[in-house]
Structure 1
Amino acid sequence: MAVDVETLRGDDDLSAASALFRAAMVGLPPLPPQSDHLSEPGRTLGARIDGRLVGTADSYTSWLVVPGGARLPHAAVTHVGVLPTHTRRGVLTALLRRQLDDIAERGEVMATLRASEGSIYERFGYGVASAFARLDLLRGRARLRDTVPPSGPVRFVEPADAWKLFSQIYATAEISWTGAIDRPEYWWKGKERTAAEPVYTVTHGPTGAEDGFARYHPVDTANWFSSRDRTIVVDDLVATTPQAYLGLIRHLLSVDLVDKVTFAFAPVDAPLRHLFTDERAVAVASVHDETWLRLVDVPTALARRTYRDAPPVIVEVADPIRTANSGRYRICADQVTRVDDPADVTVDVATLGAVYLGGSTWRQLALAGRVVEHRAGGVDAADNLFVTPELPFSGTFF
């Protein structure tokens, strides 16, 4: 049975794709009115069998920060779904292969997604490149160390005004941490229309020169005044300077009637616990995969990130979908070139995506049999080149 994939453009088709995605995900709440057209024009794909829409995949034009701080053209892949009545018929394969072709034609070097299931996307070349932690901060035990530097002013912003201001801060700031991605207008519109209520929004820094913001909401408001575990959940915290991070944390600690502050999305190596005299005030509730990275243009991706000053290594990459990526690459601190020399290590493109940002080490993946070492010491040599000072983190879900 043939699967036909096309770019969806009409309002009726886009609405049908939105409804199809929610049907495929099963557990998503209904969208508010006028929220079904939040896709970027020309980037929504639809798969049809016998003329019926049975699958969809979407993406946003974006950038992604790689080790060294460069922002590379990137596709933020989202809204991937196939009707439960049409799974395992090649629909997803047709959609994602076509999408990779489209991404390559746009000149985007890589794609990322957030996976609803952990066993699907590796076969399309996506590897888990970063993780996030859910942190619980017990306010009663959280006393800042006297050595913590001062920070600037924090002010409340009306939620209706916050979305525009937050998007301006994010767009104009020097977002430079590895794994960060752009947040296009469609992302902001979607968050605005689906945000929890009530919601509180604050910024750090002088008016007109803000350098950070946070959005948080209380949980179990029906029992708020009788609860012994009154909790606020930080849905988004963006700090573009150390002062902004400290200022926003100070604000969250100052909110009375709160016993626990939960950070829904935080870096795995977040510095939060080091701020307190009792580091046990911060507990890691859970850790989850975040960025699934697909290198679409391997030569460009390898050439645009930075490496440590270490001896070179020759990496052989196998990419059965985008075969032009397959080959051997000599990687050193100042240059990446394609070569015919024998490889030190061999990986598939999904494994290369997993180590590319520094979220996993070559040794970890070699232990799982995902790296083949051809020269003794080749795995260690690769780690010496690829290691990063901090773990990658995006903080943006789509």
Structure 2
Amino acid sequence: MDHEIRVLTDAQEIGRSLEGFLTPVEHEGFRTPVESDGFRTPVDDPSRPGGPAPTTGAYRQALRPQAARAYGTAYDPATPQSTQTPERLGGPATSFTSWMVVPGGRKVPQAAVTDVGVLPTPTRRGLVSALVRHQLEQCLARGEILAALRADEATIYERWGFGIASQVASVEISVDRARFRAGVPQGGDVRPVDLRQRADQDLLARIYTGANWVGAVDRPGYWWRAQAHMRHLSTEQHYAVVHGIPGHEDGFAIYRPQDAATWFRSTDRGIVVNDFVTTTSRAHFGLLRHLLAIENVQRVVLDPMPVDHSIEKLLTDERALTTRGGRDETWLRLVDVQAALTARSYRAPGAVTLEVRDEVLRENNGRYIVSAAGPARTEQPPDITLDVSQLACAYLGGTAFWQLAQAGRIAVHRDAGLAAADHLFGLRRAPFSGTAF
């Protein structure tokens, strides 16, 4: 199929492209389109936490400089030829500039990829591949050394160099059985805020600027506005509390009732906390105590949470808590391998030579010797040969090299090199983002 890849700058074209993205998604039942303020805005299925960001006007405006869209010559057979325009939308691929915290604490420029899809008629003609390749080349030109996405399907993105770099879990706590152990800190003051008020939305955004855990990503202003718009369209009531005295807040939780329609007759009331952000341990303890003390609530579900959250260790009865997961969260792509390897830190001592293969961005092909001093190009024989997608799995420390080796996903030429790689790239805590886009 003949097609053209180009960047859209016109608001109406961007609107058309996003409507095109929604077409196959609507057919799959993931979202329902809603007319709002002149824009078609997706409303996520409540059973599917997070999901792609909504297409509000502010969101579109922010995406314009980086919204790579594809137009093709494919026609919909169901539409009479006479009604079709010479240039018909094939599908969009969108990204916005963000950052990600990598091991060592640096906030590295990344592209947050979203709204990738083609219409049902031009599928299997190379259009998505062309879109993603073009998008990654744009990222490289802008100096975004990483790209990340949340995948609706698990078998698509590895072919373009993406790998699962972090996972999340769902944590359910039985309130009646949950008692904190003696010695668990009390935490500080917790107070409610109004999610409908711009000042309180801005407060949450200010708290989030302290996000410093590996895997955390930027939440730009339009991300917050998009979330507010989604809540406005939702039929469910959302609540929020913040931790800390005014001017020194260090955490917040956003939650909603579970099965709100049967809430008043239910004997098993639950709340779902879908955004739990703490930048200090004091806030972590204070917010957990507050959530477990809400009257007439029998269950508290925190989703998403890190797979190694260890909340059960705070309780006298660890069986009061059930962890389900993990499931994939961050799909990561190393756009510039050398720059990405340079950006993160490594544990001393040791060194490993990696031979990286990248069929999409061939500049990344080559051998890299990695140590606590950083990476360097080399010609010496490799200890490990791997695709860039497998390197992405291990980059944040969420997957060990030995796991990839055991699954036959990497080639190990020297066992000592495998052990060195696991030591160098290993982390004390599992990576976690907690942000959908």
- TM-score interval, smaller chain: over 0.9
Check the 8 A contact 2:98/2:219 in 1, yes or no. yes
**Amino acid paired to 1:184:** P
**How far apart are residue 28 of structure 1 and its match?**
1.0
In 2, the alpha carbon distance for the partners of 1:115 and 1:102 equals: 20
Aligned length: 396
Matched, 1:102 2:119: no
Query: Any idea what SS the aligned residue of 2:112 has?
Result: strand
Check the 8 A contact 2:186/2:289 in 1, yes or no. no
**Amino acid paired to 2:145:** V
Partner of 1:382: 421
**Amino acid paired to 2:260:** T
Partner of 1:132: 168
Matched, 1:84 2:120: yes
Counting only pairs closer than 5 Å after superposition, residues 330-345 of structure 1 correspond to structure 2 as 330-345=369-384
**How far apart are residue 376 of structure 1 and its match?**
3.0
Partner of 1:212: 251
**TM-score, structure 1 as length reference:** 0.97
Query: Any idea what SS the aligned residue of 2:32 has?
Result: coil
In 2, the alpha carbon distance for the partners of 1:32 and 1:387 equals: 47
Aligned-residue CA RMSD in angstroms? 1.2
Q: Which residue, out of 130, 139, 158, partners 1:122? A: 158
Q: Which residue, out of 289, 304, 314, partners 1:265? A: 304
Unaligned runs of 5+ in 1: none
Partner of 1:143: 179
Check the 8 A contact 2:345/2:374 in 1, yes or no. no
Check the 8 A contact 1:32/1:193 in 2, yes or no. no
Matched, 1:48 2:71: yes
**Amino acid paired to 1:382:** A
In 2, the alpha carbon distance for the partners of 1:211 and 1:41 equals: 33
Matched, 1:170 2:193: no
Structure 1 range deviating more: 242-251 or 216-225 = 216-225
In 2, the alpha carbon distance for the partners of 1:153 and 1:90 equals: 55
Query: Any idea what SS the aligned residue of 1:377 has?
Result: helix
**How far apart are residue 208 of structure 1 and its match?**
1.3
| 1:133-167 deviation line (CA, Å, top 9, x unaligned) | 01111111111111101211000011112322111
Counting only pairs closer than 5 Å after superposition, residues 222-241 of structure 1 correspond to structure 2 as 222-241=261-280
| 1:28-55 deviation line (CA, Å, top 9, x unaligned) | 1224613533232211121111211111
**How far apart are residue 24 of structure 1 and its match?**
2.3
**Amino acid paired to 1:257:** N
In 1, the alpha carbon distance for the partners of 2:305 and 2:262 equals: 27
Matched, 1:17 2:53: no
Query: Any idea what SS the aligned residue of 1:147 has?
Result: coil
**How far apart are residue 63 of structure 1 and its match?**
0.5
Counting only pairs closer than 5 Å after superposition, residues 304-315 of structure 1 correspond to structure 2 as 304-315=343-354
Check the 8 A contact 1:316/1:347 in 2, yes or no. yes
In 1, the alpha carbon distance for the partners of 2:92 and 2:266 equals: 43
Partner of 1:371: 410
Q: Which residue, out of 29, 32, 45, partners 1:29? A: 32
Query: Any idea what SS the aligned residue of 2:65 has?
Result: coil
Structure 1 range deviating more: 29-38 or 114-123 = 29-38
Q: Give the percent of matched residue pairs that are identical in Structure 1 and Structure 2.
A: 45
In 1, the alpha carbon distance for the partners of 2:344 and 2:91 equals: 35
In 1, the alpha carbon distance for the partners of 2:168 and 2:286 equals: 22
Matched, 1:349 2:352: no
**How far apart are residue 84 of structure 1 and its match?**
1.5
In 2, the alpha carbon distance for the partners of 1:17 and 1:163 equals: 29
**How far apart are residue 285 of structure 1 and its match?**
2.8
**TM-score, structure 2 as length reference:** 0.89
Query: Any idea what SS the aligned residue of 1:85 has?
Result: coil
Matched, 1:296 2:335: yes
Unaligned runs of 5+ in 2: 42-54, 74-86
**How far apart are residue 287 of structure 1 and its match?**
2.1
**Amino acid paired to 1:43:** Q
Distance 1:379 1:116, change over 3 A: same
**Amino acid paired to 2:137:** D
